[in-house]
Amino acid sequence: MRASIATLFLFLGFALVPAPGFPASRAVSQEWRFPAAPGKRIVVDTADMDVKLRAGDVEEILVTVDARISNVTERQAEQWIAMHTPTFHDSSESLDIETKRGPKGILGHLTAKARLSIVAPISAIPDIATLSGAIEVRGDFPGAAPLRLATMTGNISFLGAARSVTAVATSGKVILQVVRPLDDVIVRTTSGKVTLTGGARHASVDTASGDISLAELSGSVQISTSSGAVTLSWDRLGAGERVVVRSTRGSVRLTLPPGVLPGGALRTVTGKIRSRIPGTPAANGTVLKLPGQGPLFDIETAKAEIVIRVSGPQGASPTPTPPSAPVS
């Protein structure tokens, strides 16, 4: 079904000088409407556009583009606007939205701005990818398993709810604020910071240098980082769950619910271990064995500190292991 264009406002402003290559400006605002269907995927693939998607009390999918550029040649302006006017492929199962990167010129990099805005019913399943544009998603998407968000240099922000979330970024931040715990969250970044509030029953995060902060968790966690600091806290952590953390230079700080007695071990090469959980330290202080019958801990750092706290006043001052002996 072809989309009907509800509104079209196009402003073309440029200097009336006949000399070729004289700086020109273009601005465009367009709106399209598409039919919605339960479980319909909204797949966005764009280069340098910011993408904002929110859930609304609507019966169709509303797509709006706002783009402007100035201080470029007329040809560059026309090409850039054309590249940032989306192409659509619509079916009962998915709406595919695609744009390409257009030529900006030197001054155009300072003035070009493009945004893709989408309003969709809660039955939609967002799947958004950009190269340099920021991604902002807001709303409740109960059928999204997962809700996929990916960018290279843009930031990712999600406020709302979904069954699960998968987020991939290179240098952009990933900020997830959920109003109910996710079944599963997977995040991969290079240098971007990762923040989750609202919890998840299972979390897997892999970064090179980005800090990781996951709060209000309720299950297993797998973390890998080189230099990023790791901060984890749980509302609930039952027996049979696993907590695996690997860090080279980033500190690891865990806050557990009262009464949780994990098994497993905390290990470090040259770092320190401080824990409110009882355990048996090695003679040189580089390993703390945990004898509990609860969740299994497998936590290891090379040069960073490991700190285990218990939520509440009783967990305020972790007990250090004996002073470390020289490590050969």
Q: What is the pLDDT of residue 4?
A: 40
Q: 3-class secondary structure for 155-167?
A: CEEEEEEECEEEE
SS3 content of the chain, % helix, strand, coil (to 5): 5, 50, 40
Asked if 63 and 128 touch (Cβ cutoff 8 Å), the reply is no
Distance CA 269, CA 135 (A): 39
pLDDT digits (tens, 9 = 90+) for 94-146: 999 999 765 544 444 557 889 999 999 999 999 999 998 999 999 999 999 99
Determine, yes or no, domain membership for 243.
no
Amino acid identity, position 136: E
d(C-alpha 242, C-alpha 6), whole Å:
52
The count of other CB atoms within 10 Å of the CB of residue 312 is: 10
- The more confident residue out of 25 and 13 is 25
Full residue range of the structural domain in which residue 8 is found: 1-129
What is the pTM assigned to this prediction?
A: 0.86
pLDDT in the model for residue 309: 96
Instruction: Tell me, yes or no, whether 43 lies in a domain.
Output: yes
Mean pLDDT of all residues belonging to the chain = 87
Residue 44 lies in a domain: yes
One-letter amino acid at 43 equals V
Q: Which helix (H) or strand (E) holds 107?
A: helix 105-111
Confidence of residue 3 (pLDDT cuts 50, 70, 90): very low
Residue 39 belongs to some domain of the structure: yes
For residues 65 and 29, give the distance between their C-alpha atoms in angstroms, rounded to a whole number: 6
Whether residue 3 lies inside any domain: the answer is yes
**What does the pLDDT look like over 65-100, one tens digit per residue?**
998 988 888 888 888 888 889 999 999 999 999 997
By residue count, the chain amounts to 328
Of the given ranges (2-11, 126-135, 170-179, 182-191), which has the lowest mean pLDDT? 2-11
Note whether residue 269 is domain-resident: no
Model confidence pLDDT, tens digit, residues 291-310: 999 999 999 999 999 999 99
Share of the chain above pLDDT 90, in %: 71
* Residue 216 forms part of a structural domain: no
Residue 135's DSSP bridge partners are 51, 156
Residue 190 has pLDDT above 50, yes or no: yes
Question: Cα 328 from chain centroid?
Answer: 40
In-domain check, residue 189: no
7 pLDDT higher than 50: no
How many structural domains are present in the chain?
1
State in Å, rounded, how far the first CA of the chain is from the last one: 71
- The answer on pLDDT for 313 being more than 80 is no
CA dist 185 and 258 (Å) reads 25
Phi, psi of 45 (to 5 degrees): -135, 105
Residues 6 or more apart whose Cβ sits within 8 Å of residue 31: 5, 6, 7, 8, 62, 63, 64, 65
Those residues with Cβ within 8 angstroms of residue 278's Cβ, 6 or more apart along the chain or in another chain: 261, 290, 291
Q: Give 314's pLDDT tier (boundaries 50, 70, 90).
A: low
Q: Are 99 and 46 in contact (CB under 8 A)?
A: yes
**pLDDT for the residue numbered 18:** 35
User: DSSP states of 26-52 as a string?
Assistant: EEEEEEEEEE--TT-EEEEEESS-EEE
242-288: per-residue pLDDT in tens?
Answer: 999 999 999 999 999 999 999 999 999 999 999 999 899 987 879 99
Q: Residue 56: left (phi > 0), alpha (psi -120 to 50), or beta?
A: beta
